[in-house]
Amino acid sequence: MKVRFGFRDLEFPSSELSQLRESNDRLGDAPALWRTMDADGYLLLRALIARETVLSAREAVLMHMREQRVLHPDTPVLEGVMPPGGPSIRLMGRKGIAQHPDVLAVLEHPALYALFGALFGEPALTFPYKWLRAVGNEAYTGAHFDFVYMGRGSQNLYTVWIPFGDVPISQGSLAICRGSHRLDSFARIRDTYGRMDVDRDGISGWFERDPMRIVERFGGQWQGADYRAGDVIIFGMHTMHASTTNLSNRFRLSCDVRYQPAGDPVDERWKRDGSGHYGEAQRDMESARAEWGL
């Protein structure tokens, strides 16, 4: 299948973009899950959440989008078709549609609390802020570490990326650079960019707009997947990730949320009354990378 990654056209699966590995066979075995997380930098868990629960959340988001007039008027709402050149919509936050009960039923699903409770060996908490996204045609997310956006609290913080519906790779889905969290060839990136804070350091967040350049220069392996409603992918703050480009005429709906041990410090920006991001990017990534010799 032809996909676009950043602005390059690639085949999937291929040596450039291979298939993410599933870890469902390790569910219930926390040490085995940790071994996979340590080796690969992620856990892809299929059907962790009931499909119907995710589809109800998808419907709630799309009904909201229809009310906001961002969907193509002459198409079925549940397909989430965007009008040519239509407006985008901001969905993230601590209020509004991101906190709809059907949406929270997915993002704070008991299966996620149970999984993280087992992984941490203590109760888990999740940030009230929810990064709900409707990603339009030709849009994608550049390669980055999540640490730069939320690294002030727990050292044991994890992202869960959750597709709101079936999201084929050609519609823009999450891709991981396997090995980026541990390979020696990424050490300089982890020690420079990987210690930044977008608000404190006034830096733009994406390390690279052209994700394939990362593996060409530093090694690792980009991996992606076609996702189904109910699947989740979990990764740590220093796993390089990006999304493929949405080549369809339908919004890609997804949400990324964070889990950590409940007893650990929490990045104050993402608490119930936190500020969210407050800094402005003063430094572009190109000049920062030149200073770091990257």
Ligand X SMILES: O=C(O)CCC(=O)C(=O)O
- Exactly one of 161, 186, 218, 251 binds ligand X (CB under 6 A); that residue is 161
User: CA-CA distance, 83 to 38, in Å (whole number)?
Assistant: 43
Region from 133-141, 190-198, 224-232, 266-274 binding ligand X, contact rule CB under 6 A:
133-141
* # of chain residues touching ligand X (CB under 6 A): 11
- Exactly one of 64, 97, 127, 146 binds ligand X (CB under 6 A); that residue is 146
Is the distance from CB of 20 to CB of 222 less than 8 angstroms?
no
SS3 282: coil
- Exactly one of 40, 197, 256, 267 binds ligand X (CB under 6 A); that residue is 256
CB of 257 to ligand X, least distance (A): 9
Q: Is 133 a residue that touches ligand X (CB under 6 A)?
A: yes
Tokens (6 digits) for 276:
């969210």
Q: Which is nearer to ligand X, 29 or 42 (CB)?
A: 42
**Range 7-26, binding ligand X (CB under 6 A):** none
Q: Which is nearer to ligand X, 170 or 243 (CB)?
A: 243
Angle at 258 between CA 254 and CA 263, to 5 degrees: 160
Q: Is 204 a residue that touches ligand X (CB under 6 A)?
A: no
Task: Give the distance, in angstroms, between the CA of residue 53 and the centroid of all CA atoms in the same chain.
Answer: 20
Tokens (6 digits) for 244:
């493929």
Q: Which residue is nearest to ligand X (CB)?
A: 256
Parallel/antiparallel/unpaired status of strands 131-135 and 221-224: unpaired
- The CA-atom distances, in angstroms, between 167 and each of 141, 218, 221, 226, 276 are 15, 29, 21, 6, 28
Q: Which is nearer to ligand X, 146 or 261 (CB)?
A: 146
Q: Which is nearer to ligand X, 36 or 239 (CB)?
A: 239
- The CA-atom distances, in angstroms, between 43 and each of 110, 136, 156, 242 are 18, 26, 15, 16
| C-beta neighbour count of 8 within 10 angstroms | 14
Q: Which is nearer to ligand X, 208 or 256 (CB)?
A: 256
Q: Is 199 a residue that touches ligand X (CB under 6 A)?
A: no
SS3 200: helix
Q: Is 267 a residue that touches ligand X (CB under 6 A)?
A: no
CB of 153 to ligand X, least distance (A): 16
- Where on the chain is the footprint of ligand X (CB under 6 A)? 133, 135, 141, 146, 159, 161, 174, 241, 243, 254, 256
